[in-house]
Homo-oligomer: A and B are copies of this chain.
Amino acid sequence: MKVGFLGPEATFTHVAVQSFFEKEEHLAYTSIPACMDGLAEGEVDLAVVPIENSVEGSVPITIDYLVHEQPLQIVGEIIMPIRQHLIVSKKNAEKWKDAKVIYSHSHALAQCHPFLHEHFKSTRLEPMTSTSAAAKFVSENEHENIAAIANEYAAKAYGLHIAVSDIHSNTYNRTKFVILQRENTAKEYGLLKKENQKSTFVVMMPENKAGALHQVLSAFAWRKIDLSKIESRPMKTGLGNYFFIIDVEMGYDEVLLPGVKQELEALGFTVKIIGSYSTYSK
């Protein structure tokens, strides 16, 4: 089995894929749409892309591409803690406090802002295309006293030293990745377990009227179905038009979820269930 992911190597998406699909073949793609197209065209069997609160990669693009361009199914969700470390070459292990430049992805620099503000207030911060690219750069320039912010996997991959671990702010410390498949074959790959099941609804409304969302939520509320996420996203048809992504904390069953779908359709909404799957926390 081949698993595509948002590359390059040693990024957080790669760590998620490595830890979840240990024995499978992995294929890096340069963008989220390219990864999803690769899956749709049969180059890989599954694809792993970030969907929420990510360090690398554009998460709105995952949702929009899934809804508008590639009708793939979500067959699993991986939640990874995001741990950022200050990394230097082994030569500079004792001199990290005097680092001249700190390299990382702009999102990682933002996540570690309180640490950087305290310890490196006047040090130059240089954004790179990924945390992994920053670690690679530090390893290729070990004669200079520079540092990278990256994960431990990148430190290991490029033979670097972790000078200070866990320098990220607590506010943004996990990323959700979805595992995608052409059709829902979660059972085939053994991805569906009994606990922690959830389902993702996409609900489009005929017009942006007051109370429409309230009406949508009523269909869940009176059935006492817990929502774990709701997000409005603009449709491509115009400024005032939105659709909703709703995550509910239950797998697909024979009664409640089809009931919600039918009720909303009768009220004029368009409803798609883009996945019923299990959540795995690492």
Contacts and interface: CB of A to CB of B under 8 A. Distances in A.
B225 A210 contact: yes
Interface in A124-153: 125, 127-130
Interface stretch (A84-92, A103-111, A251-259, A266-274): A103-111
A187 interface: no
A34 B229 contact: no
A225 B209 CA distance: 9
Given A53-B234, A106-B129, A113 B33 contact: yes
Interface stretch (A19-27, A177-185, A212-220): A212-220
Interface string A45-65: 000000011001111110011
A125 B30 CA distance: 7
Given A31-B109, A171-B69, A172-B60, A226 B208 contact: yes
A224 interface: yes
Interface of A: 30-34, 37, 52-53, 56-61, 64-65, 68-69, 79, 106-107, 109-111, 113, 117, 125, 127-130, 170-174, 208-211, 213-214, 217-218, 220-221, 224-232, 234, 236, 239-240, 242, 244, 281
